[in-house]
Amino acid sequence: MAGLTELSRSIRGKVALVTGAASGMGRATAHLFADEGARVAVTDLAADGVKRVTEEIEGAGGEACGWLLDVSDRAEIESVVAEVVERFGGLDILVNNAGISQPSPVDAEDYEEKWERTLAVNLTAHMRTIRACLPHLKRGGAGRIVNVASTDGLGATAHGSPYTASKHGVIGLTRGLAVELGAQGVTVNCICPGPIHTGMTAAIPADAKDVFARRKVPLRRYGRPEEVAQATLHLVLPASSYINGAVLVVDGGMLAQNHLASLRDSP
């Protein structure tokens, strides 16, 4: 039939930079964007992973190019963004996904070390990558930024205060820049994944994951990286032109659930 609506759900030909794209949700996002016809800058500090994901995309007939990028290094961010723009002729979409989790009780000897590293990678790097990409994102008049926070950006897990603080910060950064950049045609949104099967959660034993999911997640399971990538894709569509400053929870209903009820109802 002839289309009745105007806005496009296609990112074909758009240039997207994804940080932490070697694994987990970053890899799934790079795959999905490439499937949708975007030209993808695959960046990560893991060289083998960058190579693998780039080859996976090219092998499937998509367009990608890989860069080594440690997002805690300001100079590297600036040079990689410049190279991406030179290689692809512009930049339309930034997904700030790279992140680490280093649990630590607040009175541990190495707490401050973990705090510094976690804030540098999970929060300061988002701000720096946005600043480096911004002139290019503004140019097209419809730039898209998605920051990956966490359900720990809205609540907290014991012994995870550096991570929790960084993810609350990501939500604050998202809202602050959504308000600031909206008038310049750039939208800034944020994804809050719940428990997802990725490298970050790989060390948690399967039975512990099962118990957690049964008790805490209405869908009774961990999520898959691609299920989060689909939410990210939605936020970067041309059609999502009025979504700005949103905090999109992708957690199988975890935060919606009343914990007393979940303990009563779950095995």
* Binding footprint of ligand NAI on the chain (CB under 6 A): 19-20, 22-26, 44-46, 49, 69-72, 97-100, 121, 148, 150, 193, 195-196, 198-201
Contact 52, 27 (CB under 8 A): no
**143 Cα distance to chain centroid:** 16
Alpha-helical regions (H) of the chain: 24-35, 47-59, 74-88, 111-119, 125-139, 161-181, 206-216, 225-236, 259-265
Name the residue among 168, 177, 130 with its Cα closest to residue 149: 168
- Separation of alpha carbons 176 and 89, rounded Å: 28
Whichever of 239 and 248 has its CB closer to ligand NAI, that residue is 248
Annotated catalytic, 242? no
Nearer to ligand NAI, 182 or 226 (CB): 226
In the complex, the smallest distance separating the C-beta of residue 70 from ligand NAI, rounded to whole angstroms, is: 4
Q: Which residue lies nearer to ligand NAI by CB, 70 or 238?
A: 70
To ligand NAI, the closest distance from the beta carbon of 106 in angstroms equals: 20
Query: What DSSP element (H or E) covers 94?
Result: strand 93-96
CB of 92 to ligand NAI, least distance (A): 21
Cβ burial, residue 12 (10 Å; 0-12/13-18/19+): exposed
- Of 22 and 181, the one with the shorter C-beta distance to ligand NAI is 22
Closest CA to 120 of 166, 77, 177: 166
Residue 230 beta carbon to ligand NAI: minimum distance, rounded to whole angstroms: 14
Q: Name residues whose C-beta falls within 8 Å of residue 106's C-beta, 6 or more positions apart in sequence.
A: 161
143 or 194, CB closer to ligand NAI? 194
Catalytic: which of 111, 163, 222, 242? 163
Q: Is 248 helix (H, G, I), strand (E, B) or coil?
A: strand
- Residues with active-site annotation: 163
